[in-house]
Homo-oligomer: A and B are copies of this chain.
Amino acid sequence: MKLATLPGAGREGRLVLVSRDLTRAVSAGTIASTLQAALDDWARVEPQLLALSQSLEARTAGDVFPFDQAHALAPLPRAFQWLDASAFLSHGRLMAKAMRLSSNPQTSDAPLMYQGGSDDFLGPCTDAPFPSEADGIDFEGEFAVIVDETPMGASTERARQAVRLVVQLNDWSLRVVAPREMQSGFGFIHAKPATAFAPVAVTPDELGSSWTDGRVGLDLHIAWNDKPFGRPNGGVMSYSFFELIAHAARTRRLRAGTIIGSGTVSNDNPQDVGSACIAEKRGLEIIAAGEPTTPFMTFGDRVRMEALDERGDAPFGAIDQRVVKG
């Protein structure tokens, strides 16, 4: 099933179910008023949501209305936890080489993961405001899962049962600011402003065979100012989402609605498929010619991100944002 959040009375918006082709929606308000409310009570509400979703698909549901992706909020307009990993090791290897780091912080021992801000997620077509172009404004195309209650010390196998929804996101990053924050050891605050989400959260079954072994095997198509920038595939993620969940839960339980991200989708042939962030393209340029030639974004720039399946459909809908002066 596919879920989205439309503007509603409160900051959490109101939960709707969306048809498989993303053209129609129906309110889920009688079952759960918001997506967080549904996640807090998933075992009880899931069968009801599923029944309504099936009647929407069968065109027997009442009060169906056209679904407009551009007006959706993030599926969770704010969340209680947002943990983002760096789970494509090809990205880390490339960046460490480009930056001539003596050691690559991204190793195969354990995933890198940071705690992101989750009080203010942007909708798919909301302008992204930043204070200064000098901060090195960059997009990062990613996938993530939204999980149910997960006990402390959960195994990878236990973590598998915790995945409720899959989402697609743009982890906005300020590259000039990031190294200073990494050096402090305390992680990112200024370097990671509000994250944006594609309009539709899907249950893993909606992805069919593209959901394999805890990975999203779809090409993530990125266009920067309408020019294709990359289409790396999410299926080669070095750690599965199950492993990322288990990693996150090592010393504490995770509560329902926790979002766990993949980090920039990256393949080991970016010269062929492009990248999901500008930093990686600049890294390639540094390795090839000693210095980067692609600038970061400027105010007015747009980025579009959509994961496409083999039929050319976008199961999550599209992110299409403009960068503006905050």
Chain B residues, CB < 8 A from A62: none
A156 within 8 A of B: no
Chain B residues, CB < 8 A from A205: none
Chain B residues, CB < 8 A from A181: 185
Report whether B250 and A187 are in contact in the complex, using a CB–CB cutoff of 8 Å. Answer: no
Report whether B81 and A189 are in contact in the complex, using a CB–CB cutoff of 8 Å. Answer: no
Shortest CB–CB separation between residue A138 and chain B, in angstroms? Answer: 13
Chain B residues, CB < 8 A from A187: 114-115, 185-188
A282 within 8 A of B: no
Determine the residue in chain B with the shortest Cβ distance to A326. Answer: B152
Determine the residue in chain B with the shortest Cβ distance to A40. Answer: B11
Shortest CB–CB separation between residue A150 and chain B, in angstroms? Answer: 10
Chain B residues, CB < 8 A from A131: 152-153, 250-251
Interface residues of A in 16-73 (CB under 8 A from B): 40
Report whether B186 and A251 are in contact in the complex, using a CB–CB cutoff of 8 Å. Answer: no
Interface residues of A in 241-258 (CB under 8 A from B): 247-248, 250-255, 257-258
Most buried by B among A80, A86, A116, A153: A80
Chain B residues, CB < 8 A from A177: 251
- Interface residues contributed by chain A, number (CB under 8 Å): 51
Report whether A118 and B83 are in contact in the complex, using a CB–CB cutoff of 8 Å. Answer: no
Given contacts A80-B119, A81-B118, A248-B189, contact A112 B184 (CB under 8 A): yes
Chain B residues, CB < 8 A from A285: none
A78 within 8 A of B: yes
Interface residues of A in 82-140 (CB under 8 A from B): 83, 86, 105, 112-120, 129-131, 135
Q: Dominant SS at the A interface?
A: loop
Report whether B188 and A115 are in contact in the complex, using a CB–CB cutoff of 8 Å. Answer: yes
A290 within 8 A of B: no
User: Given the complex of chains A and B, what is the CA–CA distance between A99 and B183 in angstroms?
Assistant: 17
Chain B residues, CB < 8 A from A75: none
User: Given the complex of chains A and B, what is the CA–CA distance between A86 and B78 in angstroms?
Assistant: 26
Instruction: Select A115's contact among B115, B129, B182, beta carbons within 8 Å.
Output: B115
Shortest CB–CB separation between residue A299 and chain B, in angstroms? Answer: 14
Shortest CB–CB separation between residue A173 and chain B, in angstroms? Answer: 10
A194 within 8 A of B: yes
Shortest CB–CB separation between residue A77 and chain B, in angstroms? Answer: 10
A172-201 CB contact bits vs B (8 Å, 1 = yes)?
001001000111111111110110000000
Determine the residue in chain B with the shortest Cβ distance to A253. Answer: B120
A79 within 8 A of B: yes
Given contacts A40-B10, A184-B112, A187-B186, contact A193 B118 (CB under 8 A): no
Could you write out 30 A-B pairs with CB less than 8 Å apart? A11-B40, A11-B255, A78-B255, A79-B80, A81-B117, A105-B183, A105-B186, A112-B184, A113-B189, A114-B115, A114-B186, A115-B116, A115-B117, A115-B188, A117-B252, A119-B254, A119-B258, A120-B254, A129-B152, A131-B152, A131-B250, A131-B251, A135-B251, A152-B326, A185-B185, A185-B187, A187-B187, A189-B248, A190-B251, A252-B326
Which 6 residue pairs of A and B lie closest in terms of their CB atoms, listed nearest first?
Answer: A187-B187, A182-B185, A81-B119, A80-B119, A193-B252, A119-B255
